[in-house]
Structure 1
Amino acid sequence: MADGDELRDLWDGFEIYGDVNSDEIGSVLREGIIALDTNILLHLYRCGANARSQIFDVLEEVKVNLFMPAQVQAEFWRKRDGVIREVITTSSLAGLREAQKKALAEIRSWRRRAMSTVEADELTRDLEQLFRRIFTSVSADDGSRGINLKAALSSAHDDAILQRLLALFKSRVGQPYDPAAFETHKRRGLERFEKRIPPGYMDSWKHGQVEEGLGDYLIWEQVIDYASVAGRDVLFVTDDEKEDWWRLDISGEPIAARVELIQEMQARAGVKLHMLRRQEFLEIAGALLDVTVDESTIDDVDPPSLTIDASDGVSLAWTPGRLKALLSRLAEVGASEQEAVIRFAAGPGNGFILRSKVYELTGRPESMLLVGFTKPVVNATNYLQEIGEIPAGIDTALESRYQRPGKAEGFAVPESVVESLKDLGEESSGS
């Protein structure tokens, strides 16, 4: 160290690891560039009417700062029809799924009172096979969620969501790369994937679908291109939670944008990069811009694609073993609040826990929203599905319950979780 050189602080040169404050987000909302990932646009078809209206209210407040990369435009049009068909089908089958759950719960109830285990298991298998045939053969009705999606699928003019998006993004969509530039970026993108340079390398397996595999990288490049010209800080909003966009915690939850992305944006465009997930964006923007956004809107998550397990005899209900694995995983990743809430809801709550009780159990102040409270349970469930401990399509273990748009009244667990916790208690007391 040369004479006269001052010692530095620990933060010096590494400020990008610090927390982003609301003033910075407020500044980029009002004066920066706001780029939405394709999944944010497609979510508008999946959410309910009230949530959709409030999301559009937020977007209207920031529309002068909206920018759509050409790749997002291409992905939106390519995926729009499929998402609409999926929502129509899923919404139509929701009632049947609920009927299936109730019927299985009745069988379990009879098993405890007047039916042998063998007979109950046989009836359960028969019932699940019957419902699989119904799900396969039923003709999907209109699952519109507040708009006529069948009409929207037939005619763009009748798509109210599309018409609002067209108005919001009028003269705000970037130019696509010409063939030569695309080939250059294709080559660079594949080189980056080999070195695991974010973003996009998590999709690098999609080499058979070049544009699909390169999609995240192309979006990133087009945002940088625009930011370089505009000279304004960037806010990128996405529902993608993969590691090639985010720094993740132990449970797989995003903490902040990848440091490499922040550094690349600063180096190439000379501006700051901020990233938010949809729920965070709506919560922060609603508060800073004085736009009404209900907790039910913020907490709204896209339902999984409808998949029916075709293997005979595979139950999609929770069993003691599956529940034990879930509770253990929650404890392992530090989600003790969610573990406690599930145990109470499935035990003393007999399937439900009031919002006030959640605050009491967790010690959270009642002024604090419960947005995203079930996310660690979803992440733990997904992890257990990936390693084969529970089947795909299993009942959601913990769900928010809303009587009306606004704040959740509480949280519910399926009957199979209630029964499994009882069985776990009996196993524990008998050992």
Structure 2
Amino acid sequence: MKSKFPGYIDDYLENNILNSEKVIVVFDTNILLNLYRYEKKIVNDILMQMKSLKKNKFFEIWLPHQVALEFNLQRKSTFKKQEKAVQSIKDEFRSFKKKIEGHSIVGGKNSELFPLKKELGAHFDKIANVINSHLPQQNRVKRKDSVIDHIYEIFDGLVGDCYSSERMEHIEAEGNYRFNNNIPPGFEDDSKEITYSYMGTKVDAKYGDYILWSQLIDKAKSNAMTLVLVTGDEKPDWHSKEYDRVRPELINEFKLKTGQDFYSLTLPNFQRFFEPKLKRKLSEQTTNEIIELNQKDNTGWLEDVLSVFHHYDRPLHLKEVYKTILDATSRDLPPSWDVIIRRTIYNHCSDVKAYLGKKDLFRKLESGKYELRK
């Protein structure tokens, strides 16, 4: 029975993955894009870890074509989002400074806020200078992308091939069947409306995860090796809350189609479980930073989404919600911020398959728009 249902075995990671003779390590798009969101010291630590894996005989690192394509398409916008986040901090600091100065004027030196303003005032210029040093200046040389050259070097010759137009058409047809029947992975992306191309072949963004999944399966078949996907986002169509790990259905499908084992881990958990085989380990500071950023990326979104619907007080397309949050937020947006917003609405809408069965806050209309339930 175990051979038919390997994904449901409780100690699958310990007995199958960690006991493999060699493991293909794949990094997803979020892992690479998040390198633009950490401070330089953290980035260098992660890059050194990747380089170390290349020299480790137990591991073979590889990048699916879909991951490489998404990374190249999104890295510029991710890079610019960081500059926008710093500008937002500058604007908020300026507003805070004005409030302190304005309130302290009332009552003059007898104001209760005057001592606070006097004490803080000595540090205002210093804080402003620190913030400005992280902003791009008009007369300064264009800010250099310090990540891209390292990524190109690490994965030189280690990127998979793209699919043909015929294979893409087959994937789209199969993807539609899987989405309609809630078969992972990728069904959370069924409302994506972006298309792009590579070498004259159309790529529909909503099938991105299924394209990736197909490329992982092809790689495991070709190399006859265990494969571990290192991810920066534990999406429900990949990660099971019930089992607190990768979805059993994915392990089953992978094993029965390739004869090989599959697992998915966050970067901190990859280090935790494979520590005995690693030649180089991430620092405690790096590990904590990754965990904290992930927690921050996945909290507070429901309040943001609700505020958008309350502001407009009418049905909204998802694109309208995305744009409003993008324009107004002071968040350091994660690479998958639009996926998180969409997931937040789906998880609280009983009209879609991803509803979690708790708070039913949104109604999906026939037009495809969403509104608050009355």
Does the pair score TM above 0.5?
Answer: yes
Task: List aligned pairs for 1:315-354, cutoff 5 A.
Answer: none
Deviation at 1:192, TM superposition (A): 0.9
CA–CA distance in structure 2, aligned partners of residues 26 and 108 of structure 1: 61
**Contact 1:69/1:173 (<8 A) preserved:** yes
What is residue 215 of structure 1 aligned with on the other side?
Answer: 208
CA–CA distance in structure 2, aligned partners of residues 234 and 374 of structure 1: 23
The CA deviation string for residues 271-313 of structure 1, in whole angstroms up to 9 with x for no partner, is 1111112332355556651424223312335xxxxxxxxxxxx
CA–CA distance in structure 2, aligned partners of residues 197 and 99 of structure 1: 49
Pairing partner for 1:381 from 284, 295, 300: 300
**Contact 1:37/1:238 (<8 A) preserved:** yes
Pairing partner for 1:246 from 210, 223, 239: 239
* SS across alignment from 1:196: coil
Deviation at 1:201, TM superposition (A): 0.7
**Contact 2:49/2:280 (<8 A) preserved:** yes
* SS across alignment from 1:175: coil
Distance 1:160 1:268, change over 3 A: same
What is residue 81 of structure 2 aligned with on the other side?
Answer: 86
What is residue 236 of structure 1 aligned with on the other side?
Answer: 229
CA–CA distance in structure 2, aligned partners of residues 100 and 242 of structure 1: 36
Pairing partner for 1:18 from 10, 13, 18: 10
- Number of residue pairs matched? 280
* SS across alignment from 1:33: strand
Pairing partner for 2:135 from 141, 160, 170: 141
1:170 partner amino acid: D
Distance 1:13 1:80, change over 3 A: closer
2:77 partner amino acid: G
CA–CA distance in structure 2, aligned partners of residues 289 and 22 of structure 1: 16
Pairing partner for 1:181 from 167, 171, 184: 167
CA–CA distance in structure 2, aligned partners of residues 97 and 300 of structure 1: 24
**Contact 2:24/2:225 (<8 A) preserved:** yes
Distance 1:285 1:88, change over 3 A: farther
CA–CA distance in structure 1, aligned partners of residues 248 and 72 of structure 2: 31
Residues 1:62 and 2:26 are matched in the alignment: no
**Contact 2:184/2:238 (<8 A) preserved:** yes
Distance 1:160 1:178, change over 3 A: same
**Contact 1:33/1:233 (<8 A) preserved:** yes
Task: List aligned pairs for 1:382-421, cutoff 5 A.
Answer: 382-388=301-307
* SS across alignment from 2:49: helix
**Contact 1:58/1:285 (<8 A) preserved:** no
Task: List aligned pairs for 1:154-233, cutoff 5 A.
Answer: 159-207=145-193, 209=195, 211-233=204-226
Deviation at 1:383, TM superposition (A): 3.5
What is residue 275 of structure 1 aligned with on the other side?
Answer: 264
* SS across alignment from 2:176: helix
Deviation at 1:42, TM superposition (A): 1.0
CA–CA distance in structure 1, aligned partners of residues 293 and 80 of structure 2: 29
CA–CA distance in structure 2, aligned partners of residues 49 and 180 of structure 1: 42
What is residue 366 of structure 2 aligned with on the other side?
Answer: none
The structure, 1 or 2, with the larger RCO (C-alpha pairs under 8 Å, 6+ apart) is: 2
Distance 1:259 1:101, change over 3 A: farther
Deviation at 1:20, TM superposition (A): 5.4
* SS across alignment from 1:66: strand
Q: What percent of counterpart residues are identical?
A: 24
* SS across alignment from 1:35: strand
1:211 partner amino acid: D
What root-mean-square deviation, in Å, do the aligned CA atoms of Structure 1 and Structure 2 show? 4.0
CA–CA distance in structure 2, aligned partners of residues 67 and 203 of structure 1: 24
**Contact 1:54/1:297 (<8 A) preserved:** yes
Deviation at 1:247, TM superposition (A): 0.5
**Contact 1:283/1:298 (<8 A) preserved:** no
Deviation at 1:50, TM superposition (A): 0.8
Pairing partner for 1:46 from 26, 37, 45: 37
CA–CA distance in structure 2, aligned partners of residues 246 and 151 of structure 1: 37
Query: TM-score if structure 2 supplies the norm length?
Result: 0.63
Query: TM-score if structure 1 supplies the norm length?
Result: 0.55
**Contact 1:282/1:298 (<8 A) preserved:** no
CA–CA distance in structure 2, aligned partners of residues 149 and 21 of structure 1: 49
The CA deviation string for residues 107-134 of structure 1, in whole angstroms up to 9 with x for no partner, is 89999x979xxxxxxxxxxxxxxxxxxx
Deviation at 1:15, TM superposition (A): 6.2
CA–CA distance in structure 2, aligned partners of residues 246 and 395 of structure 1: 28
Distance 1:150 1:373, change over 3 A: closer
Distance 1:379 1:168, change over 3 A: closer
Residues 1:264 and 2:253 are matched in the alignment: yes
- State which drifts further: 102-111 or 198-207: 102-111
Deviation at 1:265, TM superposition (A): 0.5
Structure 1 unaligned segments of length 5 or more: list them: 1-7, 116-137, 153-158, 302-370, 397-431
